[in-house]
Every structure is written in C-alpha cells, then in structure tokens.
Structure 1
C-alpha cells in the first residue's frame, strides 16, 4: 500500500504521530483511541503494509515503532516536491518583480 494512501486516514496519522515519540505496544496505542482494539489492529496492519511502522514481539506483546526506511522514503518524496515548487515560486517572484 502507498504510504500517502495509508496516511489519508486521520486515525492512522495519529498513530504515526504517536509513534514518533517512541515505540508502544498495540495495547498502549489502542488505549489512546476511542475505537476497538481490533480496529486499531487493522490500522496497524495497513501502516505495516505501507512500510510506515514495524513490529517486534516481546513475549505476548507486540511492540510497534516507526519504520525508518518507509518514513525516509516519504520524506524524500516530500523534499523532491518541495524543491520543485520552491523553484516555481522563485521564478514567479522574479517574474512579478520585473
């Protein structure tokens, strides 16, 4: 799944923002939302498929953390987009000054 499509959902964006502060168990993530644990599990599955989060087992618990590779891919894409638009805005500013 595409990372942008995964982040289109506000719950998944909040999960990613939450994990930006550090790894959490699925239960700790679910406790921060007013939706069911199975619904959170589905959101986490989508984020894993988009390579935005990773999971590791600690006994019976599943610990989720941001996936650096997936987040870096998204950041690179955003940086490329930003550079494209910065050049366009610089050209527009120069044209307006003329």
Structure 2
C-alpha cells in the first residue's frame, strides 16, 4: 500500500480547511474553539485538523491538558508561486485591454 503525500494544494481544496486556516492564522486556538465555528461534528473537524497537520499547515502545541492548533503558513508559498505564473499572464491581458480601451476612447474624441 502506498501512502499519499499531502500538500498545501490538498489542504486548501476544502472550504472547511481554508476556514480553519483563517481562524488560526493570527492566533493559536484549541480544538474546541475551532469546532465551535462549524456546524459539523467534532470528529469531522479533528479529521480536517489531521489533514492540515499532514500537509504541514498546522502544528499542535500542548499547554497542560489543552492542545492548541498553530498555523504554519510557509507551505502556502508553494501555492502562491504556482499562482504567480497565471497572475502575470492575466496582468498582461488586462494591460492590453486597458491600452485597447484607451485607443477606442481617443478614437471617439
């Protein structure tokens, strides 16, 4: 049996996981505090947390009996780099459209 390597793309593919990342991006939260934000079961949230840990986007810190989820956003750089190639292409297209609109505007004066 081969194990699947999880990555940041898999992490952000699910809207619940994206929301969990948003919740803990600025401050660590315990599992209960995270689960309170969702209308799904605590085991379902725990499964999402497990996937985010496997993707390298969450680190668990123990503080007494509590377990806090802490965001590790560095793996999202891989997503940002992948998107960058498309952002540049779209910017070029928008620049060309701006030029065309400016030409049309000047032509109608």
Q: TM-score, with normalisation over the residues of structure 2?
A: 0.70
* Equivalent position of 1:32 in the other structure: 37
What's the CA shift for 1:85?
2.5
Larger radius of gyration: 2
Q: Distance in 2 between matches of 1:33 and 1:65?
A: 18
Which ranges in structure 1 are unaligned for 5 or more consecutive residues? none
Runs of 4+ residues over 4 Å off in structure 1: 91-98
Number of residue pairs the alignment of both structures matches: 98
1:83 matched residue in structure 2:
88
Q: 1:95, CA displacement in angstroms?
A: 6.7
Paired residue for 2:22?
17
Please, which of 33, 45, 51 is the counterpart of residue 46 of structure 1?
51
Query: For structure 2, which runs of at least 5 residues remain unmatched after alignment?
Result: 1-5, 105-109
State the TM-score, normalized to the length of structure 1.
Answer: 0.76
- What is the RMSD of the two structures over their aligned residues, measured on CA atoms? 2.3
